[in-house]
Homo-oligomer: A and B are copies of this chain.
Amino acid sequence: MNHDEALARLGELRHSIDNLDAAVIHLLAERFKLTRAVGRLKATANLPPGDPEREAEMLERLRKRAIAADLDPDFAEKLQRFIIDEVIRHHIAIKSTE
């Protein structure tokens, strides 16, 4: 593969990476809508805010899925924690404006 061919292939790979990033952004935007709805529902219906059993189940399922998809399960777990921390920040922000 010459230099120009390599650059063309690099451009294709980057385009696909950008498409996947766009898809992830849109899925996460949707996910935060759902967690906001969960937050409102729990507040309205007087359900407990946290659910350790559900969280442990989710994590277990996530790790299995990551392995099946050939993704490092430790990375998947760290990512999940990163996203959940953002959900918690949203919940705190909602509380503080009540």
Q: Which residues of A contact B (CB under 8 A)?
A: 1, 3, 6-7, 9-10, 13-14, 16-18, 20-35, 37-38, 41-42, 44-45, 47, 54, 58, 61-62, 65-66, 69-72, 75-76, 78-80, 82-83, 86
Q: Which residues of B contact A76 (CB under 8 A)?
A: 25, 28
Across chains A and B, which 7 residue pairs bring their CB atoms closest together, nearest first? A6-B45, A29-B69, A29-B71, A20-B31, A20-B27, A13-B38, A17-B34
Q: Which residues of B contact A79 (CB under 8 A)?
A: 28, 82-83
> How long is the Cα–Cα vector from A82 to B27 in the complex, in angstroms?
17
Give this chain's copy count: 2
CB pair A25–B62 under 8 Å, yes or no, is yes
